[in-house]
Chains A and B, each alone.
Chain A
Amino acid sequence: MKIEKTIDGTAAMLSLSGSLDAMTAGELSKAVAELGDGITDLVLDLEKLEYVSSAGLRQFALAQKRMAGKGSFSLVRVPPFIRDVLTMTGLINHMEVLG
């Protein structure tokens, strides 16, 4: 999996590509942790993410908790497969999914 980072003031966007599974979930966790406490708004761009499993979804939810109370968390450009998985677990009802 590849993660590209874009930071604009207190907002950050992580663009994910490849597979987010039990093997690679740690990479997203590390990338989010490295953003530091100064980031209040986080956007995950999933356009090039081909695959996600529950291990990846857990990282989405943990990142959302991190932003809770100080800013926003959203998923953008979510491909159909990823949207399906979010729907299966019910997470889609608890996250801001844009496009």
Chain B
Amino acid sequence: MKKKLTYPVLLTLFFAGLLLALLIYALVRYFTISGDDALSMMLWEAIPALIVLVVLYGAAMVLYLVRIRASIKGAAKAIEGAVTERRETGLGGEWAVLDSAVQKFNASAEESLKSREGSIALDARRRTEAGIARDMVKTFSETTLPCVELDFSGAGGAERSSVIAADLYDGFCLGRRTLCFMTADIWGTGFAAARFASRVKELFRDFAHSSESLGEAVLRLNQALIENNPDELALTGFFAVFSPATGELRYVNAGANPPVIVGKERAFLRVQPGCPLGLYREPDLTEEYLIFKPGRCLVTYTNGAVEARNAAGEPFGYDRLFDAVKDGFERSLGAERIVTSVTEAVRAFGGGALKDDAALYALYYPKGIQTELSPKTSELERLRDTILDWLKDDPRKNKIFLACEEIFTNIVNHSGATTIHLSCQAEGNSFVVRFTDDGEPFNPLQMRPEGGYYSNNYGEGGMGMAIIRQIAGEIFYRTQENRNVLTIRFPVIKGNAS
């Protein structure tokens, strides 16, 4: 940047020029004067001249600074006055431009400050509300525990979007071995929706326990929402009760998408469309029922699941939903795995940026039984009860249990697992038992007795595998999602008394 030649700079340059001239003059004089006192003569002439120059330079600078200071003081006073009293400074002449600029600056600064303060306050309020709403959504989601029984399981899950849509799911036991579950899509977002969702969950639990039927519970929920609905919100939802003792699934659809059923076939549950809750005093709702046979799972979900879009704008859709449910169902590990399969598929499809919440609840009802076992030898008793109870009068039940014990103790002794999932199913004329554990990858099929079974190496499990191989028809081992999965198929021949 080019520097401007100001008065002090010019004065300094002029002073430097005079000094240079004085120096040249002094040198010329020194060399032209002959004699021993040439130096002293030259100094007598140069020093007074130098003193005069310095005094003149100093005086000029002082005068300049005094004048500048007075000008700055005047301008500062005018600006200060204008800022505090917001009035015309009255400065004229060359200061008029500055005066006008100060006026404009004051007005703009004040406006900007006000707008910024408003924006900060609004932002803080939004963030506080969003935080509270997220906490609420998290709290009411986490209070739903997966329901795991011997012959069925239920679990819910949600994939949350960037907005707080507060879609909800719930599942709880009604009496002994009866599962009540629901999903609901709240028509709204943010703090109000989270508060509404929390209330819906609480009210429905209450009404489900104190009503004669599911239909009555849903109608009471609708009535309660209408009577106290300050935010004028509504919801679409699916409500169901499953009793494995009778196999009956009772359900009420309140404007939600029809749940999907996956077993050997894929199908939608046939539902009446129903009416959203929170809108009408006499809603058009129907309690329906069907006999839900084993070997299937049912998944109810909110719009966000099928309407999630990928980067190309394609919707997740029903085909992908069916695929994800089928994938989870075929792993035969219970409702939780089906929910995980769907939420992971939706998340992967949407690329982690969902526009709407996706809440779902899965009912898993396999043929057979399933249970979780702790990796402790003392759990053998429960394993025995489970297997023998399941096989009832089958003549080979002791041998099947023997093979199961060998597998179980192998897992306990070798894999370092923290949980063991047991699934027992009847398939045609065979019994299929599946052990799934989260231990180190461990393939018992690779275990070989060293030096024969009758050796010093009794502790290595070779005898156990010999027993399993001779009892089981087929054994398969695989690792899946960091879990060991060992499947044993026992051909069951009725009437074999051995």
Contact = CB atoms under 8 A, between A and B. Distances in A.
A22 B466 contact: no
Nearest to A90: B453
B459 interface: yes
Given A23-B381, A54-B406, A89 B466 contact: yes
B430 interface: no
Contacts of A77: none
Interface in B377-408: 377-378, 380-381, 398-399, 401-402, 405-406
B42 interface: no
B406 to A, nearest CB: 6
A88 B467 contact: yes
Interface in B412-437: 412
Contact of A81 (B377, B398, B463, B470): B398
Nearest to A58: B458
Between A54, A55, A85, the greatest number of chain B beta carbons within 10 A of the residue's beta carbon is seen for: A54
B409 interface: yes
A88 B472 CA distance: 12
B473 to A, nearest CB: 15
B477 to A, nearest CB: 19
B377 A22 contact: yes
Nearest to A61: B458
A57 B405 CA distance: 13
A45 B381 CA distance: 24
Contact of B458 (A62, A84, A90): A62
A23 B380 contact: yes
Contacts of A50: 398
Contacts of B412: 22
B464 interface: yes
Contacts of A94: 454
A89 B463 contact: yes
Contacts of B498: 80-81, 84
Nearest to A50: B398
A21 B452 contact: no
B463 A58 contact: yes
Contacts of B454: 61, 90-91, 93-94
B466 A51 contact: no
Interface in B62-82: none
Given A85-B467, A88-B470, A94-B454, A55 B459 contact: no
Contact of A21 (B380, B463, B471): B380
Contacts of B459: 58
B268 to A, nearest CB: 48
B156 interface: no
A10 interface: no
B380 A90 contact: no
B461 interface: yes
Nearest to B379: A23
Interface in A50-70: 50-51, 53-55, 57-58, 61-62
Interface of B: 377-378, 380-381, 398-399, 401-402, 405-406, 409, 412, 452-454, 458-459, 461, 463-464, 466-467, 470-471, 498
Interface of A: 21-23, 50-51, 53-55, 57-58, 61-62, 80-81, 84-85, 88-91, 93-94
List of 9 A-B pairs having minimum Cβ-Cβ separation, nearest first: A54-B463, A54-B464, A94-B454, A58-B458, A22-B409, A88-B470, A89-B463, A53-B405, A22-B377
Given A22-B380, A91-B463, 10 more contacts: A22-B377, A22-B412, A23-B377, A53-B405, A53-B406, A80-B498, A85-B402, A88-B466, A88-B467, A89-B466
10 contacts: A22-B405, A22-B412, A51-B398, A54-B461, A61-B454, A84-B399, A85-B402, A85-B467, A89-B463, A91-B453
